[in-house]
């Protein structure tokens, strides 16, 4: 197995803004479609809450939903995605753009499946569900 050309560092506070810019470009309504899917949300919660073994089917459902979302609007997010990847890796946007397609896709997947990234969405989801429960809108 060959070594990856990229290394993704752990996410930090400043990454929130690049992630937010990327999500904004994706469109919140597209994310709403994913987060309103009860079965998928249960899978995401299970993936986030799991301390040891990951249920590959549940991880696959979450990954498939995110991949579907990305593919749906891929042509409109190239700049933001490459900026995000550049900001969290050891490669420039130009180097990222020139990666073989499999490695590029793997890089995107590695970022989105990174524990910090999943935890970020889990935290937001937890805040959202607590706020709904507190206001009685759940």
* HEC string for 78-124: HHHHHHHHHHHECCCHHHHHCCCHHHHHHHHHHHHCCHHHHHHHHHH
- Going from N- to C-terminal start, the domains of the chain cover 15-127
Q: Do 107 and 99 meet the contact criterion of CB atoms below 8 Å apart?
A: yes
> So what's the pLDDT on residue 77?
83
Residues in the chain: 138
- Tens of pLDDT along the chain (138 residues)? 678 999 999 988 888 888 888 878 877 676 677 677 787 777 777 776 765 566 677 777 777 777 777 777 777 788 889 999 999 999 999 999 999 999 999 999 899 888 888 777 777 766 666 655 666 655
Q: What is the 3-state secondary structure (H, E, C) of 24-81?
A: HHHCHHHHHHHHCCHHHHHHHHHHHHCCCCCCHHHHHHHHHHHHHHHHHCHHHCHHHH
Residue 122 to residue 21: CA distance in whole angstroms: 18
> So what's the pLDDT on residue 60?
74
Q: Do 112 and 119 meet the contact criterion of CB atoms below 8 Å apart?
A: no
> So what's the pLDDT on residue 133?
65
* Prediction pTM value: 0.62
Query: Strand, helix or coil at 8?
Result: strand
> So what's the pLDDT on residue 93?
96
Residue 95 to residue 63: CA distance in whole angstroms: 25
């Amino acid at each position: 197995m060959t070594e990856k050309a990229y290394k993704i560092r752990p996410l930090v506070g400043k990454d929130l803004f690049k992630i937010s810019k990327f999500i904004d470009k994706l469109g919140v309504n597209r994310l709403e479609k994913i987060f309103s899917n009860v079965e998928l949300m249960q899978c995401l919660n299970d993936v986030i809450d799991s301390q040891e073994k990951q249920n590959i089917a549940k991880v696959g459902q979450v990954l498939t939903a995110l991949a579907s979302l990305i593919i749906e609007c891929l042509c409109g997010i190239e700049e933001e995605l490459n900026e995000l990847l550049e900001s969290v890796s050891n490669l420039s946007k130009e180097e990222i753009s020139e990666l073989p397609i499999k490695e590029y896709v793997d890089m995107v997947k590695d970022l989105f499946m990174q524990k910090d990234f999943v935890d970020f969405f889990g935290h937001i989801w937890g805040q959202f569900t607590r706020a709904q429960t507190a206001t009685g809108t759940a």
